[in-house]
Amino acid sequence: MNNRVIIFDTTLRDGEQSPGISLNAKEKLDIAMQLAKLGVDVIEAGFPIASPGDFEAVKTIAKNVKGPVICALARIGAGDIDRAWEAVQYAERPRIHTFVATSDIHLKHKLNKTRAEVLAMVETGVKRAKGYTSDVEFSAEDAFRSDLDFLCQVLETAIAAGATTVNVPDTVGYATPEEYGKFIADINDKVPNIDQAVISVHCHNDLGLAVANSLAAVRNGARQVECAVNGLGERAGNASLEEIVMSLYTRRDSFGYETGINYQEIYRTSRLVSNLTGIAVQPNKAIVGKNAFAHESGIHQDGVIKERTTYEIMNPQMLGIVQSNLVFGKHSGRHGFKQRLEELGYQLTDEEIDKAFKQFKDLADKKKQITDADLEALVENEIRKI
Ligand code: KIV
Ligand code: ZN
């Protein structure tokens, strides 16, 4: 079985469904450009039928972002699929991601459909998407709470209709790692045509198990992981991209899998997403939290000074975390200022830098030392405000 894990980023779709987030098209494009630099394999750019804004954002990303597959989400109906294609068709490598729920709870209370009706919808919908592009992903929403035999029938139907990736979401974050790993292994065993598709997983973090569940799935045959920067997503969020990637890397002795991620861009991407979404990263968040590499106790400090690996299992520099020795104040120059903004995730135009630099000098006249938080506030409040 191949050992390459496909990283499917859904920051701009499920991540944007986090309460309180609303990104405009320019912000989404900035994030998508940064995700391409980060080296994700697939960018889920949005849900085109959801709003004209989402449609435009997907279209803009499809036209401008090169490298990753660009994916648009659609429910299984014709209207959604056609609209998704209208937006994503401009991508170098477009994907349509279509979904329908498969659990009895959803069939009864949400869709009011029988299992036979859902099976027919899957066949028709996937075939319609396949008429547009060879790259079709099918998701069985609430897969983990679905009847396993019915789910296997649905996935077999989706693959026979042309799906090249089949996603098995734990939509409500109900699974535990042992169960979810076994669930994926069972799907691998029971779906007769499974070797014609990539098994994907999409875990929500309601019990704080999204990353552990995704990793258990990879050990049992999944080769695409859907995740979001800083773990953003509906309710408690999706599996965190940086945690998945760094677990696979740091414990490669145990997992033996590879990703195409450019680790140096992890921190910058996290900062950019936090700044543009307005969702702060908790200080003790693994990998990218402010305290993730901070050592407070004397014993730990002493250890790290003698040898970093006494208390650090990852090298922060590898993630692009630069402990700046530069102190910003009124004597600082434009070059260092621009560099620090880039380290914080901002790619500004020359005109924006000029404007920001002027504001920075005004601030420096009032405040002796300018912190990263001041720089971020300055860009957010003065430069990026709409
Ligand atoms: O959580 C979920 O099931 C989803 C699907 C649309 C993939 O977000
Ligand atoms: Zn989801």
- Position 298 scores a pLDDT of 78
At 261, which amino acid appears?
I
Q: What percent of the chain has pLDDT over 70?
A: 98
In 3-state terms, what secondary structure has residue 154?
Answer: helix
Q: 47 CA distance to ligand 2 centroid (A)?
A: 12
Would you say 331 is a known binding-site residue? no
**pLDDT tens for residues 301-327?**
788 888 899 999 999 999 998 765 567
User: How many Å lie between the centroid of ligand 2 and the Cα of residue 238?
Assistant: 7
For a substitution probing ligand 1, which of 49, 146, 204, 213 has the most ligand atoms within 8 Å of its CB? 204
| pTM (two decimals) | 0.89
Among the residue ranges 16-25, 27-36, 101-110, 184-193, the one predicted with the least confidence is 16-25
Per-residue pLDDT tens for 55-78? Answer: 999 999 999 999 999 999 999 999
ipTM of the complex in this document: 0.99
Nearest residue (by CA) to ligand 1, atom 5, is 141
Whose CA is closest to atom 7 on ligand 1? 139
pLDDT at 325: 52
Ligand nearest to the CA of 233: 2
The string of pLDDT tens digits covering residues 26-53 is 999 999 999 999 999 999 999 999 999 9
Pocket lining: 268 vs ligand 1, CB cutoff 6 Å:
no
CA of 10 to the centre of ligand 1 (A): 10
Do the Cβ atoms of 147 and 105 come closer than 8 Å? no
pLDDT per residue over 320-356, tens digit each? 987 655 678 888 888 888 888 887 778 889 999 999 9
Q: Among 23, 29, 27, which residue's Cα sits nearest to residue 66? A: 29
Question: What phi and psi values does residue 344 have, to the nearest 5 degrees?
Answer: -85, 0
Report which of residues 124 and 303 the model is more confident about: 124
238 is in an annotated binding site: yes
Establish whether residue 171 lines the binding site of ligand 1, counting it when its CB lies within 6 angstroms of any ligand atom: yes
